[in-house]
Structure 1
């Protein structure tokens, strides 16, 4: 049984605790999840999550708009990740893919898409990364040309989660209002838009739907623009400011599961007639793992609470949470593999799966080194303003 004491921390309210408990119970009914056909599994998971109401926190309700509750998003990702990485992925992309609509979308845009994504009837995606610009978003070269009554898209996006299965994409392209970050805009793009081609499907160590998208003269109506021309960079960073903390929460869920698996292993496995748990070296591993998990949780829910309390930006807090939680989860999972011995690297073992799942979290939505740059800049700027 995973530790639940953190649900009583002052960062969280009774409704948060009730949500996490109910979702944990629901996730326990999923049974074994097929990772061999990621496309079909993610479609099924989105439909199931939506039908049972678990996707509602991923986007605002157009009928009664309220700010996104980042603590609920984090609790959801942590809980689902502890059960299965694809369940977490299916949930997370519904939020990231429509984050721009929740934060900046017009009433018409929200009304067209958010009821569908919140009910699991449409799959969403976030198309930001390009072949030559991963962390350097301002270096994006894909263009959206103003052609009178339409925007015409040309260029490529890559490493796009849900690429190839999404019904709707949030897309960022250069419209030329200024150099670098000042010349980007955000668009809402239906997945069946003519001129959009799935150029390549990408395989990774932990299977997820990923693709390279190619655009050749794809036309969008003027109403597809999210916000104002030239606001794309601001929109993208605002979305990441919310959802980056949830990546940390997913890492925390993986780490909690690894700690549970390791604890069960050392209590049941015997060496020379005694449980592994009696060995002081093993106890040291367990102590370090528990410490890393709790420290990560404090940073995750500090960042989420700060955003929910009305902070306009939480770039520093979110960067700290993502950097620490993902890096420390890697260490926790590695220790769990070590404590499992040969079984830890056996294909299909839970900790082997976690070992493959965690690695990508230290890269996407801002690699660990990028988070260090953000933290350093914010810290130095605060000192200079001091």
Structure 2
């Protein structure tokens, strides 16, 4: 049984604990058929919407409760990685609408996404610009009351099954990051196509998108022209701690599986737990889980209590939680021995699930740069 003692930490209150219990109940009742990933994600969005969990992923007043998002992702990830994915992508895809959308944009899309009746996606990455968002080459050309989209996006989660995409394109107000704008793009427009479905070691709906003279009304823009980079970073500020929370959920599940294994598996007539080296592995795993939880819920608490930007805290949480979840899961595989690499076993599935989290929404190496720059800026500020 997973440890829930962290929910009594001062970062969380009774409302968060009630929410966590609700998510646990829903997660335990989900039926997920992994033989068809697209169909499973569509069903998951419907089920999570019907259960009320997707209410947390978007807000008409722009007030996203990051602690609730983190709790939901941690719990769902502990139960099933695809359930976490379905929940998370609804939030990431509509985060910009919650934070920067007009009343018309919110009223059109958020009731549908929160009810699980429409699937959303966040289209930022391009073939030539992953972490380097400012190097985006996709264009949105103004033509009367419309914009004309041209270019490609790739590695887009929910690509191919989404009903709407939050899309970032170059409108040219200035060079680099200051020349990007954000748009809400329905999936059924002429000139928009899915050119490739991408397979990964942990199957999720992923695709490459192409836009060829794709016309959208100027009213589809989120915020003002040239605010795209700011919008993207604001959304990632909210959702990076939730990536860390998902990693935490995977790590907790791996620790739980390992703890059960060391009592049920016997070596030379004694439980596996009696080996001191195994005890050392378990101690390291438990330490990594608690340390990750502290960083995750500190970042979420800071955002919810009014810290304007949590770039540093979010980067620390994502870096530590994802990298150390990889370590925790690897130790669980080692404890399981041959069973740990059996295709479809719980720890083998976790081993495949965790790897992508160290890449998307800012790779681990990028998080180190962010943390180093923040530490330097704080030091120079102290000296001043």
CA drift at 1:149: 1.5
CA drift at 1:34: 2.2
The answer (yes or no) to whether the contact 2:54–2:90 under 8 Å persists in 1 is yes
Which blocks of at least 5 consecutive residues in structure 2 are unaligned? none
CA drift at 1:40: 0.4
Structure 1 segment 98-113 matched on structure 2, within 5 A? 98-113=94-109
Cross-structure match for 2:303: 307
Cross-structure match for 2:367: 371
The answer (yes or no) to whether the contact 1:36–1:207 under 8 Å persists in 2 is no
Cross-structure match for 1:46: 45
CA distance in 1, matches of 2:97, 2:278: 48
CA drift at 1:36: 2.6
The answer (yes or no) to whether the contact 1:156–1:212 under 8 Å persists in 2 is yes
Cross-structure match for 1:154: 150
CA distance in 2, matches of 1:368, 1:195: 35
Partner-residue secondary structure (3-state), 1:155: strand
The answer (yes or no) to whether the contact 2:62–2:99 under 8 Å persists in 1 is no
Partner-residue secondary structure (3-state), 2:182: strand
CA distance in 1, matches of 2:29, 2:111: 25
Cross-structure match for 1:125: 121
Structure 1 segment 55-204 matched on structure 2, within 5 A? 55-60=54-59, 62=60, 65=61, 67-204=63-200
Partner-residue secondary structure (3-state), 1:187: strand
Q: Deviations over 1:321-363 (max 9, x none)?
A: 0000000000000000000000000011000000000000000
The answer (yes or no) to whether the contact 1:247–1:361 under 8 Å persists in 2 is yes
Structure 1 segment 216-365 matched on structure 2, within 5 A? 216-365=212-361
Partner-residue secondary structure (3-state), 1:188: strand
CA distance in 2, matches of 1:217, 1:30: 41
Q: Deviations over 1:53-96 (max 9, x none)?
A: 01000000x3xx25100000000000000000000000000000
Corresponding pairs, count: 382
CA drift at 1:203: 0.1
The answer (yes or no) to whether the contact 2:62–2:98 under 8 Å persists in 1 is no
CA drift at 1:300: 0.1
Q: Deviations over 1:274-300 (max 9, x none)?
A: 100111111001000000000000000
Please, what TM-score do these two structures have when normalized by structure 1?
0.98
Partner-residue secondary structure (3-state), 1:369: helix
Please, what TM-score do these two structures have when normalized by structure 2?
0.99
CA distance in 2, matches of 1:302, 1:108: 34
CA distance in 2, matches of 1:260, 1:22: 21
CA distance in 2, matches of 1:258, 1:298: 18
Cross-structure match for 2:9: 9
